[in-house]
Amino acid sequence: MTSRNQTPAPAEAGLGSQLQKPVDRRLFLRYTGLTAAAAGLFLAGCDDDENNNTTTVSLGSGDVGVLNYAYALEQLEAAFYAQVIANPSFATAFTSADERAALTAIAKHEAIHRDFFKAAITAAAPTQIIGGLTPNFSTVNFASRDSVLQTAKTFEDLGVAAYNGAGQLIQNPTYLTIAGKIVSVEARHAAYIRDLLSNGSFADSTTVDANGLDKAMTVAQVLSAAQPFITERVNGDNVGK
Amino acid sequence: MNLFQIISEIEKVDPEFTDRLTHRRSALSLLGDLGKKMALAAAPVAIGSAFNKVVAQNNLSTVNDVLNYALLLERLEYSFYNQALSAATLSANLTGAARTAVETIRAHELAHVNLLTAALGSAAAPAPANGFNFGTAFATYASFLTFAQAFEDTGVRAYKGQATKIPRTLNPTVGGNTVNLLTVALQIHSVEARHAAHIRYMRRGATAGGQTTIMPWIINSDANGAPAAVYGAGNPAADFPAEGNLVQAGVTLTTGLGTTYTADEVSAAFDEPLDNTTVTAIARSAATF
C-alpha cells in the first residue's frame, strides 16, 4: 500500500501542495467521537485505499472545479498512454506498426490535453490549480495487448461520459466550447480502441443507448470509477457548484 | 461538391457574396484556357477564403431553431445510410462487418431523428417533401465512404457549433422523461464522433478507397478526398477556425506548452466547431433537398 505512494510524482506536484491536505486520522476520529475499539469496525467500512499517507485533492468549485476535473482525468489518460508506449514490451504487445503509431498519436493528444489544461487553469486561476496526481496502474499488464486496450477503453469511454455529463456544469461558454473540442477527440479514440478490441464495437449498445445517446456521467460516478487508478483521494463534491 | 450551388445558396443569405468573389474571378480569368468552373474547382483555397467573407454565420436564434437544424442533419444522415444499404451499386462491397457497422450507424441516426422530433413536438419542421437526393454518392463503395466521412465529420462540427446556443439549465420533458437538453446534444455529438472515427478507418481498405494512412481523428485540415470546406474555417473564422487550428484559449499549443508538439498532433487533439450557415452550405453541396 505504501509502495504506491513512493511512485515518483510528476514534477509539477508542488504546485498544488497547499490544496493537498493530508487526512489526519486521529483528528478525524476525535471529531467523529470514536473510541479506538470502535474505530476498527468503522474503518473496516472505509475504502481499501485508505491509509495514513493518503492525501486528498479537492478539485474546487465552479468552472475552475470543472477545469481541474478535466485536468485530473487528462493527467490520468496521459500518464497511462505514456507508460504504454514507453514500456519495453510495447513492440511485442503491439506487433502492428499501424497500431503503435495510433497509440503513440493518442499518447500525444492526451499529453497535449493535460498540458493545455495546466496552462489554461494556471492563467485563469493560478492559486486554484490542482497539482500532479500520482497514477496507480498496478492492475494493468503493460506487456499484454488485451490488458492495455481494455484499460484504454475504460479511460476513453469514461472521458467521453465525463465531458458529456460536465457540459451542463460549465458557466463560461468559451470553456464549454473547448470541452466540446476535446470530447469528440476522446470519442474518436474510444471508437478506435473499441474497434481494436472487437471490430464494429465502436458505438455498440454497451455505450450507446436505444435513443442513440452516448453515456453521460456525474462527477461522483466518474471519480468513483477513476479513483482506483489514482493514489490521492480526489474530492469533486463542489465541481460546478 | 457543387461549388456553384454553394455560392448560389450563400447569395440567398448574402446578396453581396458574388461581388466579394469578383476580384477572385478576375484573377481566375487570367488562368487563360481553363474554364471558370475548372479553375474554381481547382482552387479550394480561394473558395475557403471566400467563405470567410460571408456575413451570415451562426445565426439560429432559438433553441427550436437549433433543434430543427439538428433534425434536418439527422434526417439527411439517416436517409443517406438508408439509401446506401439498398443501393445495388454497393451490394458487392457493403457486406459483412462493413454492412453491420453501417446498419448500426443508420439505427443511431434514426434514433436521433425520433428523439429530436419528440423534443420539438408540434414545433418539429416537416421532412423535405422530396427527400434527399445524393446524386452520384453511391456510384462506388469508395465514393459512399467519402461522403459518409464528410457527413459525420460535418455533423460533429455542427453540434459543437451549437453547444453554446443551448441554455445549460433547459430541462424539458421528452418522451415522459425530464432531460437536460445540452447534455442530450453532447450525447449525440460524441456518438457522431464515434461514427466518424469508424467510417474513416473503413476507408483504409483497398476496395474502400485505399486511404491507407487515414486516422480516426482529423490531422491538420486534411480532407482525404472529401470536400475541403468540411475541414475549413467557418464564419467568423476566429470563432470557427479550420480543423488545422493550433491555437486554443490564446495559447499556440505547438510551442506554448513547455513541451514541443507537432502540428499534426495538436490539430488532431482538438476538433473545431462550425457555424450553421457553412454547415448548411456543405450539406446542400452534397445533397439536393
| Residues of A whose CB is below 8 A from B163 | 167, 176-177, 180
Contacts of B253 in chain A (CB under 8 A): 112, 115-116
What DSSP string describes A112-137?
HHHHHHHHHHHHH-TTT------B--
Residues A31 and A68 in one domain: no
Say whether both B154 and B15 belong to one domain: no
Looking at residue B138, what is its pLDDT?
98
> Residues A180, A103: one domain?
yes
Distance (Å, whole) CA A53 – CA A49: 10
Give which of B272, B265, B281 is closest to B241, Cα–Cα.
Answer: B272
Contacts of A70 in chain B (CB under 8 A): none
pLDDT value at position A52?
A: 56
Q: A8 in a domain, yes or no?
A: no
CB interface of A with B, residues 158-217, below 8 Å: 160, 163-165, 167-171, 173-174, 176-178, 180-192, 195, 199-200, 202-204, 208, 210-216
Give the Cα separation of B266 and A109 in Å (integer).
Answer: 7
Give the model's pLDDT for residue B60.
96
The verdict on A193 and A74 lying in the same domain is yes
The answer as to whether A5 is a domain residue is no
* Chain B residues whose beta carbon lies within 8 Å of the beta carbon of residue A123: 249
The yes/no answer to whether this complex scores an ipTM above 0.95 is: no
Q: What distance in Å separates the CA atoms of residue B272 and residue A182, rounded to the nearest whole number? A: 9
Considering the domain architecture, whether residues B84 and B171 belong to the same structural domain is answered as: yes
Instruction: Determine which of A213, A217, A222 to mutate to test the interface with B (most B C-beta atoms within 10 Å).
Output: A213
**In this model, does residue A98 exceed pLDDT 70?**
yes
Contacts for A190 with CB less than 8 Å, ≥ 6 apart = A153, A156, A157, A159, A160, A202, A207, B194, B197
Q: Would residue A15 count as lying in a domain?
A: no
Q: Does residue A160 lie in a domain region?
A: yes
In the predicted model, what is the mean pLDDT of residues A128-136? Answer: 98
Provide the pLDDT for residue B53. 47
Q: Are residues B25 and B84 in the same domain?
A: no
Residue contact A188–B115, C-beta within 8 A: no
In a domain, B255, yes or no: no
pTM: 0.82
Could you identify the residue written with the cell 470563432? B239
Query: By residue range, what is the domain housing residue A91?
Result: 59-235
Q: What is the pLDDT of residue A214?
A: 98
Q: Which residue of B has its CA nearest to A119?
A: B257
Stronger pLDDT, A31 or A211, i.e. the higher one: A211
Q: Which residues in chain B have Cβ-Cβ distances shorter than 8 Å to A191?
A: 193-195, 197-198, 216
Number of structural domains (chain B) is 2
| B189 is a domain residue | yes
* CA B8 – CA B3 distance, rounded (Å): 9
User: Does residue B159 form part of some domain?
Assistant: yes
**Given this model, what pLDDT does residue A1 score?**
35
Residues of chain B contacting A119 with CB distance shorter than 8 Å: 249, 251, 256-257
Q: Are both A119 and A177 inside the same structural domain?
A: yes
Q: Are residues B7 and B145 in the same domain?
A: no
Q: Cβ–Cβ of B115/A184 closer than 8 Å?
A: no
In this structure, the answer to whether residues A129 and A157 fall within a common structural domain is yes
Residue A85 has pLDDT above 80, yes or no: yes
Query: What is the arithmetic mean of pLDDT over A71-100?
Result: 98
Show which of residues 101-120 on chain B sit within 8 Å of chain A, judged by CB atoms. Answer: 101, 104-105, 107-112, 114-115
Average pLDDT for consecutive 10-residue bins of chain B (289 residues)? 44 44 39 35 41 67 97 98 98 97 98 97 98 98 98 98 97 94 98 98 94 97 97 97 98 97 98 98 97
Q: How many residues does chain B have?
A: 289
Q: Of A123, A183, A212, which is closest to B108 when you measure between CB atoms?
A: A212
Contact assignment for B217 to A185 by CB distance below 8 Å:
yes
Check whether residue B170 and residue B212 sit in a common domain: yes
Pick the residue of A77, A160, A211, A241 with the most B CBs within 10 A to test the interface with B by mutation.
A211
Domain of residue B46 covers: 3-52
Could you give the number of structural domains in chain A?
2
CATH at residue A85: 1.20.1260.10
Q: Is residue A76 part of a domain?
A: yes
Q: What is the mean pLDDT of residues A2-11?
A: 39
Query: Residue A54 has what pLDDT?
Result: 86
Among A109, A188, A216, beta carbon nearest to B186? A216
Do residue B82 and residue B214 come from a single domain?
yes
pLDDT for the residue numbered B55: 56
pLDDT of residue A53: 67
Q: Residues A120, A202: one domain? A: yes
The per-residue pLDDT of chain A, averaged, comes to 85
Chain A neighbors of B186, CB-CB under 8 A: 163-164, 167, 180, 183, 214, 216
Asked if pLDDT for residue A89 goes beyond 50, the answer is yes
Q: Is residue B235 a part of any domain in this protein?
A: no
Indicate yes or no: CB of B100 within 8 angstroms of CB of A202.
no
